[in-house]
Copies of this chain bind each other. A is one copy, B any other.
């Protein structure tokens, strides 16, 4: 493309980039991507379902990649039938060689990289509805969640990573004349400062949030000049494949090698992730998924950014209105059937019960209020199916349904979920276990999916201790707390923060602990075993390149 086109693209997105950089510092609410489907053209919604339908049982050709192998094994959790879509599957050597051949990306200016990457987000925006259907039928999310999480919210996080990377790349001047007074004369040196990309990056996706958890690392590596290979979960490829296709289009149109970003695919039976991750050419790895594999990734001695599993707690000390609290907890644990990394698993309640505006409530009354609220959501004819979505894979259900009594009392189990739209949907309503703090073998482990432990503790102090200990030992991404005593609020915040876990205090109504907003909320802190990185602090981009200062004498 001509240099005029290049300048046009940069000036087109200049204001948005500046706003994004500014938003990172102020951390007030900001987004250029409205989250409501209604904010987007009706025709996009209309054509998307048809477009998605046409993709089924076909080769995904949009990447424009030659390959002898085409594979794919995605299954819709709503239909419980295969999507039949296959993707080009270059082998590891091909992927690495193509990425290395695309390393000239590292010499492209930060301004041009930012403009190209933002342009790709605009293209993605035009396909939100398709991506929503793709997400729905791979992850089991409801349509609305799929739209928001994989569309505008993912684009927010991508733009956030671009903005953070851009501002860090601009932190030092390109060059400076350095003049040191030496007494009788001045010493003059011309100095340059260059951000050298670390090298080819691998981004490993998860099955539940195939774009939201993938685009931050992908765009963070790209803005800092590293070619990227994305290896999604074999059961959730399509959503990110569409994003990558759009990105490759923009790269190509702007005269760059499309292989600056590549899709790698594999199957559950023949996984290639370890082979890719261990390859010497891979210098950066972003990973979202289980802890065991995450620890393997961290052990490779490379620059890694992980989000693993954790055990999130609710600390319930006191509340004005138990029903508002129970409703909020019920929704937070029921949303997408507890398959969010931010969903609470354990609700710690003191044995003596909790203070409310209507007097003390016993432990059993609290547990019952939560159970009733969950039941209310599950059985709600309008809200139920949409809130719960469906279950991404069979294992999640098996773990809970065949898990016995978990050493406690099941106060909610086997509630039927009615989904009139998808009669074959794989669903599972939340199981509620009432138990005691001694039963740590159960609640002390992560059970991904729709299960909640209401845990009786010796005291409110003990609740905080247990939540903090679990965060340090098992990891935690969120902690929700309900407390009307300002001093004890401070104790909770201080204790949990020292376990590198953020606190969401007294959330009710439309505020849910699960939701982390880009440009304001840091997602994962990087300080406890739930992960070693954070969307998006400065480290998240700084670690992807190396500052080099050269000096020249005339």
A: which residues have CB within 8 A of B? Answer: 25-29, 36, 168, 171-173, 176-183, 185, 187, 189, 191, 193-194, 196, 198, 493, 497-498, 500-511, 517, 520-522, 525-527, 534, 537-539, 542-543, 546-554
User: Would you call A504 and B550 a contact (CB within 8 A)?
Assistant: yes
User: Would you call B26 and A176 a contact (CB within 8 A)?
Assistant: yes
- Give the residue of B181, B502, B510 whose beta carbon is less than 8 angstroms from that of A551: B502
CA distance A520 to B506 in the complex (A): 47
CA distance A510 to B28 in the complex (A): 50
Chain copies in complex: 2
CA distance A40 to B545 in the complex (A): 41
User: Would you call B171 and A506 a contact (CB within 8 A)?
Assistant: no
9 A/B residue pairs, CB under 8 Å, sorted by A: A28-B178, A29-B179, A168-B538, A196-B497, A493-B550, A506-B553, A511-B551, A526-B546, A534-B546
User: Would you call A187 and B542 a contact (CB within 8 A)?
Assistant: no
Most buried by B among A36, A182, A551: A551
- Give the residue of B180, B498, B503 whose beta carbon is less than 8 angstroms from that of A29: B180
User: Would you call B171 and A538 a contact (CB within 8 A)?
Assistant: yes
CA distance A538 to B539 in the complex (A): 8
Which residues of the partner chain B approach A193 to less than 8 Å between Cβ atoms?
A: 27
CA distance A194 to B527 in the complex (A): 13
Which residues of the partner chain B approach A187 to less than 8 Å between Cβ atoms?
A: 509-511
Which residues of the partner chain B approach A552 to less than 8 Å between Cβ atoms?
A: 505-506
| Smallest CB separation, A134 vs chain B (Å) | 27
- Give the residue of B185, B502, B537, B549 whose beta carbon is less than 8 angstroms from that of A522: B549
Which residues of the partner chain B approach A539 to less than 8 Å between Cβ atoms?
A: 539, 542-543
Most buried by B among A171, A189, A503, A548: A548
**Given contact pairs A27-B173, A517-B180, A503 touches B543 in the complex (Cβ within 8 A):** no
User: Would you call B547 and A537 a contact (CB within 8 A)?
Assistant: yes
Most buried by B among A25, A178, A181: A178
CA distance A458 to B119 in the complex (A): 48
CA distance A511 to B178 in the complex (A): 12
Which residues of the partner chain B approach A196 to less than 8 Å between Cβ atoms?
A: 497-498, 500, 527
**Given contact pairs A511-B553, A547-B537, A548-B500, A28 touches B176 in the complex (Cβ within 8 A):** yes
Of all chain B residues, the one with the shortest Cβ separation from A534 is B547
- Give the residue of B191, B497, B510, B548 whose beta carbon is less than 8 angstroms from that of A182: B510
User: Would you call A502 and B538 a contact (CB within 8 A)?
Assistant: no
User: Would you call B27 and A504 a contact (CB within 8 A)?
Assistant: no
| Smallest CB separation, A475 vs chain B (Å) | 13
User: Would you call A520 and B25 a contact (CB within 8 A)?
Assistant: no
User: Would you call B548 and A525 a contact (CB within 8 A)?
Assistant: yes
Which residues of the partner chain B approach A509 to less than 8 Å between Cβ atoms?
A: 187, 553
Which residues of the partner chain B approach A537 to less than 8 Å between Cβ atoms?
A: 542, 547
Which residues of the partner chain B approach A185 to less than 8 Å between Cβ atoms?
A: 510
User: Would you call B502 and A550 a contact (CB within 8 A)?
Assistant: yes
Most buried by B among A508, A542, A543, A552: A552
| Smallest CB separation, A501 vs chain B (Å) | 8
User: Would you call B546 and A194 a contact (CB within 8 A)?
Assistant: no
Of all chain B residues, the one with the shortest Cβ separation from A194 is B497
| Smallest CB separation, A530 vs chain B (Å) | 12
- Give the residue of B28, B522, B543 whose beta carbon is less than 8 angstroms from that of A547: B522
CA distance A498 to B107 in the complex (A): 11
